[in-house]
Amino acid sequence: MRDGAVHAGLKDVEPAWWRSAVVYQIYPRSFADSDGDGVGDLAGIGSRLDYLAALGVDAVWLSPIYPSPMADFGYDVSDYTDIDPVFGDLAAFDVLLAEAHARGLRIILDWVPNHTSSRHPWFLESRSSRDSAKRDWYVWRDGHGDNPPNNWVSAFGGPAWTRDGATGQWYLHLFLEEQPDLNWANAGVVDAMHQTLRFWLDRGVDGFRADVVHLIGKDEALPDQPAEVAQLDIVGTHDYAGTHALLRGIRAVLDDYDQERVMVGEVTLSSPSKLVPYYGQGDELHMVFNFALMHLPWTAEAFAGALDAADGLLSSPVAWPCWVLSNHDQPRQRSRFSGSEEQARAAAVLLLTLRGTPFLFAGEELGLLDADIPDAARLDPGGRDGSRAPIPWDAAAPYGWPSRPWLPFPPEPGLRNAETESADPDSMLQLYRRLLALRKRSGALQLGSWRRRDAPEGTLLYERRRGDELRLVAANFTAAAVSGVEASAGWRVEAATHLDAEGRRWGGDLAADQAVILARD
Ligand code: GLC
């Protein structure tokens, strides 16, 4: 066993800890700044661990913290086994990991296997000549005259190929030209990337979130995209069978460790049915994000459809669902719901009571909106700055940041901040704390079965059951009160979107955009 000591602080060493966990995603640049350079860092995160423990989450996923030229804010990695100085260093990471483990919080790192930075030493060597020992570590091809080798479009727009002056060949990049794709058909790449996992696993990390991991296998013929999808970037459709063997190899690296480490994969294929094969036979990804809920209108029909579909598809014991309502690539929940706090509250009740592991994006628990970023201040090539704005901690400017942060704050930081919301029993933050505490003491909510029940139009009702323990969850997606929701007697409101409804006998009435969790009276 390589890792006993670092886990000594964790009480729960059950094999599938990640099934009952709630994972909190931190965008490190925007979480907390310890040194006053306007960019969040590891010591800043460390200073907020008590906040996270009090919130009640179980694990933290850190978006990339590796050395990076930051063309894609860390998703362009120039060294997989170090820390970018803007965030700290390896010693600071070890301290953070130990302090998190001491509080029972696990740490999951982002792992970016599909591409490196164009300034990674591997790519510098690869591009240096056609004969370089690492030439084949990336995807180089001759073009067709002045045209690229095929018709693939990059996720940030334009061709997925750039011609390199030094050798006249083109290299593949499904994202920015500063993010060349690795060639996973090369055994040296496979080995080197496995080593990067072992580096962090040996240090004691609890797992990884694997960035666009469905892209790593590629048909070496690199066939054109069919004409009907040729204008779309390939990231949403690329689904090559050869990726699965690579995922089994990656899983074997994790399985080599005694205490169970997790890998959750970002697979951005549009149909949930396409996600299922990425679980393999329980020998590929432990979990695959289901992004379906992020793109739904706020209607009971839409949510019922997505939940029924997932329930049908993810029924095998190895295909444990994984839910997301927002992340660093998408607008925040409230912004998607036209600013409605009520809908964002109800969405929180749903996220934290579905069957599967919820991922919660930092700041959602404060009900933040996307920041308004003036054109001149925009930094992200993908236009995603709004949801990446800094977290306001204190009620007074500069809101717990020692100096002006790299992006503007979200709207109303004087009201929407951790300090103010901690003091208000009916705040969004307190709602999340109550929901997380209830989930933690309910086996039915963590691991129970899920079944939808009939409910009046505009509402959603489902049960969670484990042994004798039963909970009902009801939500109203309309702007009017609805009655007759679960008419049977003997239920009590255990949690609700607002405090005043909690603890009451259930009469079957849901207020506009209200959600409740019911327990037997
Ligand atoms: C993933 C990340 C996104 C990044 C892209 C390229 O989708 O979530 O932020 O830009 O991969 O690495």
Residue 503, number of CB atoms within 10 A of its CB? 11
Please say whether the beta carbons of 218 and 184 come within 8 A: yes
Q: Which of 27, 26, 29 minimizes the C-alpha distance to 40?
A: 29
pLDDT tens for each residue of 435-474: 999 999 999 999 999 999 999 999 999 999 999 999 999 9
Q: Which atom of ligand 1 is nearest to the CA of 112?
A: 12
Whole-angstrom Cα distance, residue 385 to residue 379?
7
* Tokens matching residue 512: 């506009």
Whole-angstrom Cα distance, residue 491 to residue 165?
71
- Which protein residue has the closest C-alpha to ligand 1 atom 7? 212
Which pLDDT value is given to residue 443? 96
Whole-angstrom Cα distance, residue 222 to residue 417?
49
- Cα(448) to centroid of ligand 1, in Å? 32
DSSP type of residue 180: P
pLDDT tens for each residue of 290-334: 999 999 999 999 999 999 999 999 888 899 999 999 999 999 999
User: CA-based angle 394:395:401, to the nearest 5?
Assistant: 35
Distant-in-sequence, close-in-space partners of 4: CB < 8 Å, separation ≥ 6? 258, 259
Whole-angstrom Cα distance, residue 363 to residue 210?
22
- Which protein residue has the closest C-alpha to ligand 1 atom 4? 75
- Which protein residue has the closest C-alpha to ligand 1 atom 3? 329
* pLDDT digits (tens), the chain, 521 positions: 333 333 333 334 444 899 999 999 999 999 999 999 999 999 999 999 999 999 999 999 999 999 999 999 999 999 999 999 999 999 999 999 999 999 999 999 999 999 999 999 999 999 999 999 999 999 999 999 999 999 999 999 999 999 999 899 999 999 999 999 999 999 999 999 999 999 999 999 999 999 999 999 999 999 999 988 888 889 999 999 999 999 999 999 999 998 899 999 999 998 889 999 999 999 999 999 999 999 999 999 999 999 999 999 988 889 999 999 999 999 999 999 999 999 999 999 999 999 999 999 999 999 999 999 999 999 999 999 999 999 999 999 999 999 999 999 999 999 999 999 999 999 999 999 999 999 999 999 999 999 999 999 999 999 999 999 999 999 999 999 999 999 888 999 999 999 999 999 999 999 999 999 999 99
138 C-beta closer than 6 A to ligand 1: no
What residue has token string 């982002």? 110
How many residues are listed for the chain in this entry?
521
Half-sphere exposure of residue 179, counting CA atoms within 13 Å on the CB side?
24
347 C-beta closer than 6 A to ligand 1: no
Which pLDDT value is given to residue 310? 95
Q: Which atom of ligand 1 is nearest to the CA of 382?
A: 10
DSSP type of residue 147: B
Which pLDDT value is given to residue 2? 36
* Strands 59-62, 106-111: pairing kind: parallel
27 C-beta closer than 6 A to ligand 1: no
364 C-beta closer than 6 A to ligand 1: no
* Tokens matching residue 369: 């909106």
Distant-in-sequence, close-in-space partners of 339: CB < 8 Å, separation ≥ 6? 369
Helix 341-351 with 428-441: angle, nearest 10 deg: 10
Which pLDDT value is given to residue 3? 38
Predicted TM-score (pTM) of this structure: 0.96
Q: Which residues are catalytic?
A: 211, 266
Whole-angstrom Cα distance, residue 262 to residue 207?
4
Whole-angstrom Cα distance, residue 476 to residue 435?
18
Instruction: Provide φ and ψ at 220, rounded to 5°.
Output: -65, -15
Q: Which of 260, 195, 252, 208 minimizes the C-alpha distance to 7?
A: 260
For 32, 87, 92, 402, the CA distances from 35, given in Å and listed in that order, are 10, 10, 13, 7
Which pLDDT value is given to residue 351? 98
Whole-angstrom Cα distance, residue 71 to residue 380?
8
The residue to mutate among 63, 70, 72, having the most atoms of ligand 1 within 8 angstroms of its beta carbon, is 72
Q: Which of 455, 271, 450, 440 minimizes the C-alpha distance to 350?
A: 450
Whole-angstrom Cα distance, residue 80 to residue 277?
28
Q: Which atom of ligand 1 is nearest to the CA of 114?
A: 12
